[in-house]
Amino acid sequence: MTTSETADTAPDHDPAVIEALLEAAVTRLRTVGALRSEEVERAVRAVPRHAFAPEFPLEEVYDPRAVLITRRAEGGGATSSVSAIWVQTLMLERARLEPGMRVLEVGGGGYNAALIAEVVGPTGTVVSMDIDPVVTERARGFLARTGHSDRVEAVVGDAEHGHPAGAPFDRIIVTVAATDLPPAWTGQLVDGGRLVLPLGVRGHQRITVFTKQGGDLLVGETGNHAGFVPMQGAGAPAPRMVPVTGAVELVTDADPVPAPKALPGVFALSAHQVRSGVRIGGMEPFSTLQMWMTGLSGFGLLTGTAEDFVHRPMVPNAIPAVWDGATLAYLLLPKVPDPAEAYEYVACGHGPRAEETAAALAEHVRVWDREHRNGPGPRFLAHPDLPGADGVIRTRHTRLLALWDRTEHDHALDWKADTRE
Ligand SMILES: C[S@@+](CC[C@H](N)C(=O)[O-])C[C@H]1O[C@@H](n2cnc3c(N)ncnc32)[C@H](O)[C@@H]1O
């Protein structure tokens, strides 16, 4: 791994410049709904964010949408960052922290842990855990400099095991992408405690808040789309890649996966297209459609760009698709002539069951349009022993059931925030 330039001594900054940038950030966060309470606002004003990212220019540090990448793997992928302020404040608001609480932060760096420490106050406890000793060491230095080291314990550890020595926790706030709910998290949370995390469900990551209902049952509310760095260690995701053709692969965690020889060559078979009749404007968000599609059995995401396909897919590289034996269907989003800025979802199937699979996919889009299009997305039930039924997503540690009959909108922003954290 490599670390981007690490500054041991913070540069001298003009306090008036910091004040102006902070003021602008707070106003923006309030406007978009990422900052709502006096307590979190006070924390944002109290903790000098620039002290946790001394190698970045102030304008970037206080840009509410900027992710400050602090560490990369040899291949260049980001492995650690100071997350964007909008997502940090949103998660803290949704955690509903109170003075005196015991909090575990998974994924360290220091800044977010200092914010938590400010909200839970001197009677609270914060443990900030990171799998990377370099990140932990750096965080310890920053926390000492800002006067938070006696209120935040920065430890090295793998999220998979939680932090038994500090349990039970009133809140667990995970700041790294999770695709599963390890038993340690549920076990180390008090009844009624809240687990806030960027939960990736079949490739779609959303800020989700689970409340422990007793025993191992968690009930979760989904919220904004997010893009945190991937989990390392024992809980690192291991999606299966099934070759289709050239650069196109089907990435799926479905169980069972398609046989390796089932899909190659499928695009050479003639395509069958089914129009859904569902239109969408150029700037309209469709993230609830993506989440809605994850409930289909045989769901996966196709890699590749328009040039790799016979018919142009709706988006590049994370193209929602379903497979059924040797048949593959995915969505296209061609422009319609009238009105000028509208597009229509069209299901495109290849393979022996192209017609039925494409028709089922188009119908799935119609149901989304009728029932969920303007809704907040699903609520989740998570329990390791949930009976396997249609729509239940199996992960290594648990079973997730998406319930779509939500009416209330819990803390979604008016921002389409899809920057990587
Ligand atoms: C987005 S950064 C955390 C941001 C941070 N909380 C802040 O103050 O902005 C994600 C961190 O998670 C850490 N991480 C990745 N996998 C982990 C694991 N299994 N256990 C603990 N930490 C992990 C990475 O090393 C990285 O530092």
Q: In the structure encoding, which two tokens stand for residue 275, read together?
A: 């129009």
pLDDT digits (tens, 9 = 90+) for 274-322: 999 999 987 777 778 888 998 888 889 999 999 988 889 988 888 999 9
pLDDT digits (tens, 9 = 90+) for 116-143: 999 999 999 999 999 999 999 999 999 9
With a 6 A CB cut-off, is 61 part of the ligand 1 pocket?
A: no
With a 6 A CB cut-off, is 233 part of the ligand 1 pocket?
A: yes
* CA nearest ligand 1 atom 6, residue: 108
The CATH superfamily holding the domain 2-176 is Vaccinia Virus protein VP39 (3.40.50.150)
Give the ligand 1 atom nearest the CA of 158. Answer: 20
Give the ligand 1 atom nearest the CA of 105. Answer: 6
Give the span between the Cα atoms of 141 and 135, in whole angstroms: 10
Residues near 381 by beta carbon (within 8 Å), at least 6 away in sequence: 217, 218, 219, 220, 400, 401, 403
With a 6 A CB cut-off, is 229 part of the ligand 1 pocket?
A: yes
Cα(68) to ligand 1 centroid in Å equals 13
With a 6 A CB cut-off, is 114 part of the ligand 1 pocket?
A: no
Burial class (CB in 10 A: 0-12, 13-18, 19+), 398: buried
Q: In the structure encoding, which two tokens stand for residue 327, read together?
A: 């048949």
- Domain residue ranges in the chain: 2-176, 240-372
pTM value surpassing 0.75: yes
What's 313's DSSP letter? B
Give the ligand 1 atom nearest the CA of 110. Answer: 8
* C-alpha angle 100-111-71 in degrees, rounded to nearest 5: 140
Residue that has been written with the tokens 């960052």 in this structure: 81
Q: In the structure encoding, which two tokens stand for residue 113, read together?
A: 């842990």
Residue 409, pLDDT above cutoff 60: no
For residues 118 and 92, the answer to whether their CB atoms sit within 8 Å is no
Where is average pLDDT lowest: 145-149, 215-219, 304-308, 385-389? 385-389
Residue 42, SS3 per DSSP: helix
What pLDDT does residue 38 have?
98
Give the span between the Cα atoms of 219 and 126, in whole angstroms: 24
For residues 330 and 247, the answer to whether their CB atoms sit within 8 Å is no
pLDDT digits (tens, 9 = 90+) for 227-240: 899 999 999 988 78
Q: What is the mean pLDDT of the chain?
A: 89
* CA nearest ligand 1 atom 11, residue: 107
Where is average pLDDT lowest: 66-80, 255-269, 332-346? 255-269
pLDDT digits (tens, 9 = 90+) for 170-218: 999 999 999 999 999 999 999 999 999 999 988 888 899 999 998 899 9
CB atoms within 10 A of CB 84: 22
Q: Give the mutation target among 229, 397, 419, 420 for probing the ligand 1 site: most ligand atoms within 8 A of CB.
A: 229
The CA R_g of the chain, rounded to the nearest whole Å, is 22
With a 6 A CB cut-off, is 111 part of the ligand 1 pocket?
A: yes
What is the DSSP code string of 146-193?
A: TT-TTTEEEEE--GGG--GGG--EEEEEE-SBBSS--HHHHHTEEEEE
* CA nearest ligand 1 atom 14, residue: 107
End-to-end Cα distance, the chain: 18
Q: In the structure encoding, which two tokens stand for residue 406, read together?
A: 């939500």
**Candidate list 37, 80, 81, 83, residue with the active-site label:** 83
Peptide bond into 182 cis (omega under 30): no
For residues 60 and 66, the answer to whether their CB atoms sit within 8 Å is yes
Q: Would you call 4 a catalytic residue per the annotation?
A: no
